[in-house]
Amino acid sequence: MADIIEVRDLVKRYGENVAVDGVTFSIQEGETFGLLGPNGAGKTTIISVVCCLLAPNGGDVFVDGASVRTDPQRVKRSLGVVPQDIALYPTLTALENLRFWGRMYGLSGKTLDARVGEALEVAGLTDRAKERIEAYSGGMKRRVNIAAGMLHHPRVLLMDEPTVGIDPQSRNHILETVRRLAEAGTTVVYTSHYMEEVEAICDRVAIVDHGKVIGQGTVAELQQLIGDENAIMLRVEEVPDETLASLRAVPGVDRVTFADGALEVLARDTAAVLSPVVSALDASGARASSIDIVEPNLETVFLHLTGKSLRD
Amino acid sequence: MMRILAIGLKDVRVTVRDKPALGILLGMPMVLIFILGSALGGIGKGGAGRVPIAVVALDRGEAGTRIAEAFESTELEDVFEAHRFVTEAAARRAVERGDLAAALVIPERFSDDLTAGSGVSLRVWADPGREVAAGIVRAVAESLATRVSAVAVAAQVTGEAVGRSGLSRDPRVAMAAARSAADELGRADGLARVRVAEAKARLQHKMTTLDYYAGGMSVMFLLFGSMFGAFSLVEERTGGTLARLLAGPVSRVQALAGKTLGVFVVGVVQALTLYGFTRLLGVAWGPDVLALGLIGFSTIVAVTGMALMLSTLAKSVRGVGAIAPLVIQVQAAAGGSFFPVSALPEWLRPVHYLTVNGWALDGILAVMRGAGVAEVWPKALALLGLGALFFAIGVWRLETS
């Protein structure tokens, strides 16, 4: 398949702060592509450049061959955008909001009516379409937020953290919507710091940290980066620096991180290192409330690549 | 164009559903107009404080000079704030603008004609909307004219008596002359040699306090429309909907035009509603609807520009909410919404020309007094100029922020 989005050496600076630092990746048509990284990694900035809200300081982005620098209007015509914030008018009903956003994309008459009806159905809100958005739950608002971005059947749908702060039921609904869009041939660019979501719906993933892509490929390809390395995950209230140093000194331990009460120890043979790790913790007086051994996933990949947790 | 209309109409719908905004834009002015009109309706504008008047002394003779100086004397300084004008036309314009309550004109050769015994008259150009103040001017002018007239008649008669007797140095002659003068003073036609001719220029409508405050409050609350317009712009910016618009096939110009249209339409709806309400209360907005419409249109354009500028003065609705009322209230106070501009110290009055409120209220009051498009178009032009200036500042700040 042909590339529908090509990001080349993209640089975006805010004064002295480099938010995006030479990012390069491409996305094929019909693909569901994940941008995974912690908050502040640069994901939203990349999306903002792709949808022409921010001008790049270096490099370029092409959408269906059109450059964001030279032909932003053509770029925007190919895109649908689901922003991280709920960008809707709270005192208008879902129906009124969707009709408004449909008009912004040039829809009118029967086509507009049909698309709004279809979007409400996808959002599962047909029977509550005439209620004001302000009366909706967070999850329902998110669903309308997504529906507003897909009214015009865009070739590419950019979804920026679409599941932040919602209940599991709405999250599942949204993930299911993304799957259906992908089945219908829509290219989806999905940013998140929830590795489970990205693993569940994305064909390929770029891991972003400090404005750089530090790894990209399919989930399986990324997992191969850490080979057969597993993680021992422990819940511990406090771990002194000396204890972290002694854990790192345990033979067979590749990497140790601690943040927000979560101690993560990467090792190829977790069974072999488990006992000395627990002993070292005991010696320091730290008590683990839970211990899990986790097989390679995007979380451990991120840990392997950056030395820190996605939650950091 | 469809996108611009859709954005504008969406904003109107959002405003209509915002009950606090509706309360401020429509409820408060209605209540204030009603209360102020009811409480002060019988007093009339200019009923309190010193009466600002023009004195035009075209006559350099003794009688004319005496009358002019009387209005500037310490005896009358608590009553009048007299301003000397060189020409009658300039004084009349000041009255028509509403800057002064009346203009007293002492015509050329007033003293000579008086001495010669021919009929003379003083002219008073009065603002029909300030009947009480103008009435004071008329009363004082009549009193002064009567006194001057009496002296002139007495002198004339005395001279005649002395001439007839041929004993100019004899005190008895003077006594006789005085008696003759007194007799003459008792004759009505002798006192009527000096008349006060009142003119109302083109200002035919008698304005009440209710009329005044209907204009003043309407303009002030139209300005509050700019605050809600600014809120809408800031909310669009901070709530992410502006970014969403711009991420779609909507240009910055379309987005801005749509938002501007929304503020404008809300202003028109507000103005028409207040117009209808005040008509029910009996407010007379003047005979020339076209002139009123021109001033209303220009005011709403200025308000729209102000909304854009206000939206760039702060990053949050809260910030704009702190700044905008201050800007609006200062304009309302300086521009005459709370009290006539003439009540301000003289050095402060020109400030009202820097405000939307000042030009708008000047225009409305002129229309209420009977002015037409030919008289008020410069005020409309000033309002459009202010609107363009505010809009340019707003766009500049948006581009540079």
Domains present along chain A, CATH in parentheses: 3-223 (3.40.50.300), 228-295 (3.30.70.100)
Instruction: Please give the Cα distance from A1 to A7 (Å, whole number).
Output: 17
Helix (H, G, I), strand (E, B) or coil at A74: helix
pLDDT beyond 50 at B46: no
Which residues of B fall within a CB distance of 8 Å from A86? 240
Residue B77 has pLDDT above 70, yes or no: yes
Residue A299 confidence (pLDDT): 75
Task: Decide if A83 and B3 are in contact by the 8 Å CB cutoff.
Answer: no
Is the Cβ pair B249, A105 closer than 8 Å?
A: yes
With beta carbons less than 8 A apart as the criterion, state whether B50 and B340 touch.
no
User: Averaged over B253-262, what is the pLDDT?
Assistant: 88
Cβ distance A187 to A30 under 8 Å? yes
**Interface mutation target, options A71, A77, A81, A104, chain B, most CBs of B under 10 Å:** A104
Mean pLDDT of B241-254: 86
Q: Which amino acid is at A85?
A: D
Q: What is the pLDDT of residue B132?
A: 66
Q: Tell me how far CA of residue A114 lies from CA of A99, A146, B198, B276, in angstroms.
A: 10, 17, 73, 41
Nearest by CB to B245, which of A52, A86, A104? Answer: A104
Q: Which residues contact B56 (CB under 8 A, 6 or more apart)?
A: B84, B85, B86, B87, B88, B91, B103, B104, B105, B106
* pLDDT, tens digit, 9 for 90 and up, residues B266-315: 999 999 998 988 888 888 888 888 999 999 999 999 989 988 888 888 88
Closest CA–CA distance from residue A26 to any residue of chain B (Å): 20
SS3 at position A233: strand
The predicted structure's pLDDT at residue A310? 61
Are B2 and A89 within 8 A, CB to CB?
Answer: no
- Answer whether A104 sits within 8 Å of B249, measured CB to CB: yes
Cβ atoms of A249 and A299 closer than 8 Å: no
Q: Which residue in chain A has the smallest CA separation from B247? A: A51
Cβ proximity of A225 and A68 under 8 Å: no
Q: Kindly list the residues from chain A whose CB atom is less than 8 angstroms away from the CB atom of residue B17.
A: 91-92
Spell A219-252 as b/e; 16+ CB within 10 A means b: beebbebbeebbbbbbebeebeeebbebbeebee
- The interface pTM score, or ipTM, of the predicted complex is 0.75
CB atoms B247 and A100 under 8 Å:
no
Residue-level pLDDT at B247? 86
CA distance B248 to chain A (A): 6
Set of chain B residues whose Cβ sits within 8 Å of the Cβ of A89: 10, 14, 241
Q: According to the model, what pLDDT value does residue B49 have?
A: 55
Distance CA B325, CA B316 (A): 15
Q: Is the pLDDT of residue B45 over 50?
A: no
Residues of B in contact with A96 (CB under 8 A): 10, 13
User: What's the pTM?
Assistant: 0.67
Size of interface A-B (CB pairs under 8 A): 63
Contact A89 B14 (CB under 8 A): yes
pLDDT band at B385 (very low <50, low <70, confident <90, very high): very high
Residues 195-254 of A with CB under 8 A from B: none
Cβ <8 Å between A83 and B6: no
Mean pLDDT of chain B: 78
- Which chain A residue lies closest to B14 (C-alpha atoms)? A91
Cβ–Cβ below 8 Å for B248 and A100: no
Which two structure tokens, joined as six digits, stand for B186? 């008792």
Task: Closest CB to B247: pick one of A51, A85, A100.
Answer: A51
CA pair distance B309, B128, nearest whole angstrom: 38
Q: Is the dihedral of CA B260, B263, B266, B272 positive or negative?
A: negative
Of A48, A73, A91, the CB nearest to B18: A91
Q: Over chain A (312 residues), what is each successive 10-residue block's mean pLDDT?
A: 85 88 89 87 89 90 90 88 90 94 90 91 86 88 89 89 82 86 88 84 88 84 74 82 85 82 82 84 81 77 70 53
